[in-house]
Structure 1
Amino acid sequence: MFTGLVEIIGTVSALVDLDASTSGGNGTSLTISDCASILNDAVLGDSISVNGTCLTVIELSPSKDYFKVGVAPETLRRTNLGRLKERSRVNLERAVLGSTRMGGHFVQGHVDTVATVAAVTPDGNALTFRLKPREKEVLRYVVEKGYITLDGASLTVTNVNDAEGWFEVMLIAYTQERVVMASKKAGDEVNVEIDIVGKLVEKSVVGYFEGTTKEGAPAILEKIVGRLVDEKLKATQR
């Protein structure tokens, strides 16, 4: 579990393609450097969010100034990690401790989709990013003023257009200096994790309707709305 508050920006210092016997099928090993400040208490098997993707530390340098992770083929398909190159910069965050302040929101490190930057618009010293997700259905969980995780950074949604298939976030000057998002340009990709609360609520509501009626959710919703309207009308006639 993570908070979406990026601790440090690391640098990819090596990429090595792994064979099937090592990775489960054509995965990649990433070595990430320039991150000694978050490795002082790290051990093998720890989880670290790399651009919003929860990965397991499989190797630590003796001096703890770099670490290595393995990226499985499924992860490469679902994220932008397969597009990293040597010297690419990545957002890093360690898994939370029980005493950590939750300044961001609950982030799993499980990427839902990849979004393409459609436009970057300056607004004073801030930057507004318009993003179009690859899987448009995730937009039903994206709401204005709600949380969203982009490359592991917890950000606030400032605008959503379901019909055109995009949403926007704004980076203030402080945030621009601390996340890789600030260097993104139109056409670049970012990892997207939707706030899990929305997905849990949807599943609970749908499960309740399916478990209590054979008519399905639309029919029972219509009945609920009809009952509320009837009660309102009766109240106004008294």
Structure 2
Amino acid sequence: MFTGLVETIGTVTALTSLDPSLSGGNGTSLTISDCASILTDAQAGDSISVNGTCLTVTEFDGPSFKAGVAPETLRRTNLGRLKEGSKVNLERAVSASTRMGGHFVQGHVDTVATIESVTPDGNAYTFRLSPRDKSLLRYVVEKGFITLDGASLTVTKVDDAQGWFEVMLIAYTQERVVTATKQPGDEVNVEIDVVGKLVEKSVVGYFESTTKDGPPAILEKIVGRLVDEKLNTLQR
């Protein structure tokens, strides 16, 4: 579990193909450096969010660490597009003493989104993004949380019909996340706020459990009550 508050920006210094017999396919081992500040309490097996993707530390030494990336992860995230010299957002998993300044982030990327435009607004920038999986837009709401490359951001606008959403990066955030350096056409990892998905599953499950020979019984009662109230009003 993470907060979406990026602790530091690391640099990819090596990418090595993993043995298919160990990775289940053409996986990759990443070596990420320039991140000594988050390795002071590191242990092999710890989780670190790399561009919003929860990866396991396999080795670490001084200012760098290694993490394996499975083929499925490469397909679902932008980690497969990294190269030597690429910058990545990094965050350690939360501890019992962590202050939750962002929101609950799992490090499980739902989809990637393409940056459609970057528009200056004073000293801030508005990013318009189009997700690869448009069905996920039903969880994206104005003023709600969303995670882009591991950074917890607030949604400023959503257009379900045209298939895009917007976020704003203030000056402070621009200096601390890799997203600020990206341009139209680049991709970012997206994790939807898990609360929306949990609520949807609970509501759907409740309605399904109250179904009787057609529409959910609870909806029938609500509609019936509204009709009765309207008729009573008209008869007065």
Please classify the TM superposition score into its range, dividing by the shorter chain length.
Answer: over 0.9
Q: Kindly provide the amino acid, as one letter, of the partner of residue 203 in structure 2.
A: V
* Alpha-carbon distance in 2 for matches of 1:110, 1:92: 14
1:2 aligns with 2:2: yes
Alignment partner of 2:113 out of 115, 125, 134? 115
2:145 to 141, 144, 147: 147
* Corresponding position of 2:54: 54
1:114-172 Cα distance to aligned partner (Å, 9 max, x none): 00000000001000000000000000000000000000000000000000000000000
C-alpha separation in 2, matches of 1:46 and 1:94: 8
Against the structure 1 CA distance between its residues 174 and 215, is the aligned structure 2 distance closer, same or farther, given a 3 Å change threshold?
A: farther
Gapped regions of structure 1 (runs ≥ 5)? none
Aligned to 1:229, which of 211, 226, 230? 226
The RMSD of aligned alpha carbons is: 1.7
Amino acid at match of 2:191: E
Work out whether 1:168 is the aligned partner of 2:170.
no
TM-score between both structures, scaled by the size of structure 1: 0.94
Deviation, 1:212, is 1.8
Instruction: Output the amino acid matched with 2:54.
Output: C
Whole-angstrom distance in 1 between the partners of 2:232 and 2:152: 45
SS at 1:163 equivalent:
coil
What do residues 185-234 of structure 1 show as CA deviations (whole Å, max 9, x unaligned)?
00000000000000000000111111121456x65564254145236537
Identity %: 76
- The 2-side partners of 1:193 and 1:183 are apart by 20
Alignment of 1:1-238 (within 5 A): 1-61=1-61, 64-215=62-213, 219-220=216-217, 222-230=219-227, 232-233=229-230
Q: Which amino acid is 1:4 matched to?
A: G
> How far apart are 1:103 and its partner, in Å?
0.3
Q: Distance in 2 between matches of 1:31 and 1:215?
A: 58
Give the CA deviation at 1:235.
7.7
Q: How many residue pairs were aligned?
A: 235
| Alpha-carbon shift at residue 175 of structure 1 (Å) | 0.3
CA contact (8 A) 2:210 2:216 kept: no
Moved over 4 A (4+): 218-222, 234-238
Contact kept? 2:207, 2:216, Cα under 8 Å: no
Using the TM superposition, give the Cα deviation of residue 78 of structure 1 relative to its aligned residue in structure 2, in angstroms.
0.3
State the one-letter code of the partner of 1:204.
S
Q: 1:1-37 deviations in whole A, cap 9, x for unaligned?
A: 0000000000001001112122121100000000000
> What CA distance in whole angstroms lies between the structure 1 residues aligned with 2:104 and 2:225?
34
Deviates more, 1:192-201 or 1:224-233: 224-233
Q: Which amino acid aligns with 1:30?
A: L
Unaligned segments of structure 2, at least 5 residues = none
Q: Distance in 1 between matches of 2:212 and 2:25?
A: 44
Q: Distance in 2 between matches of 1:112 and 1:202?
A: 16
Structure-2 separation of matches of 1:44 and 1:36: 15
**Structure 2 length as normaliser, TM-score?**
0.95
Alpha-carbon distance in 1 for matches of 2:213, 2:11: 54
Q: Which amino acid aligns with 1:41?
A: D
Structure 1 letter corresponding to 2:2 = F
One-letter amino acid of the structure 2 residue matched with residue 7 of structure 1: E
